[in-house]
Amino acid sequence: MSCNISISGLTKRFGTNTVLNDISLSLTPGERVAIIGPSGTGKSTLLRCLNYLDRPDKGLITLGDLSVDAERASRADILALRRRTGFVFQNYALFANKTARQNIMEGLTVVRDWSKDKARARADEILARIGLADRGDSYPSALSGGQQQRVGIGRAMALDADLMLLDEPTSALDPEWVGEVLDLIRRIADGRQTMLIVTHEMQFAREIADRIVFMDGGRIVEQGPPEQIFGNAQDERTRAFLRRVG
């Protein structure tokens, strides 16, 4: 969790629709960057392209000594990238037929090729850290929404990734569970985990982020420290968006 990260010229099209248009962004070790903006502007697609859940059409992603060029990325390149990134989905994306422990183990055994014993020990350590030490044998159907999302975050934590990608991690939660998930993300951030967070929780973004990125129309319109973006945004599109959500 100590490398520089850069995204250069990232472009993604779905048919004739350009969802990401030449996105470039850099993160320093331990930096927390929150991405805000209107729905449908490419925020989630950006995260998915960084983990190659969606394959970008163009662009270069660099994590430390690893560089992956979209136009010639091999399966080995993509696997290497996934080994160094952790993804938290907005809808939990847990395996319904696996326990909380097994869900956390999955990435370690499949992506990292760890033994089951080693992965189980790591999963139990993570379960304790996310406050679910007594729920390791529970299936997702027996967990609350907040607990399921904590398992999803734990799965990303287990990889000890260079970059954690969080795609609107509270959007699928009932209001009563939002606080516990945000508190967990804050604790992880306090450990200087590099994070790229898509969120619609403006107060959370203001509190947790070192930098705010505002996207619109598939492009980065403006970025800066929270106090600048929320207090003195320079672009009218940013100001209009913040007026609507404020």
- pLDDT of 18 higher than 70: yes
What percent of the chain is predicted at pLDDT more than 90? 89
Mean pLDDT of 179-188: 92
**What does the buried/exposed string (b/e) look like for 52-67 if buried means 16 or more CB atoms within 10 Å of the residue's CB?**
bebebbebbbbbeeee
- pLDDT of 173 higher than 60: yes
Mind listing the domains of the chain with CATH numbers? 5-245 (3.40.50.300)
Write down the mean pLDDT value for the chain. Answer: 95
pLDDT digits (tens, 9 = 90+) for 122-170: 999 999 999 999 999 999 999 999 999 999 999 999 999 999 999 999 9
- Please tell me the predicted confidence (pLDDT) of residue 20: 98
- Please tell me the predicted confidence (pLDDT) of residue 172: 84
> What is the value of pTM for the model shown?
0.93
Q: In what order do the strands lie in the sheet with 163-167?
A: 85-88, 163-167, 195-198, 32-36, 211-216, 219-224
- Please tell me the predicted confidence (pLDDT) of residue 246: 75
pLDDT digits (tens, 9 = 90+) for 187-246: 998 899 999 999 999 999 999 999 999 999 999 999 999 999 999 999 999 999 999 997
- pLDDT of 1 higher than 70: no
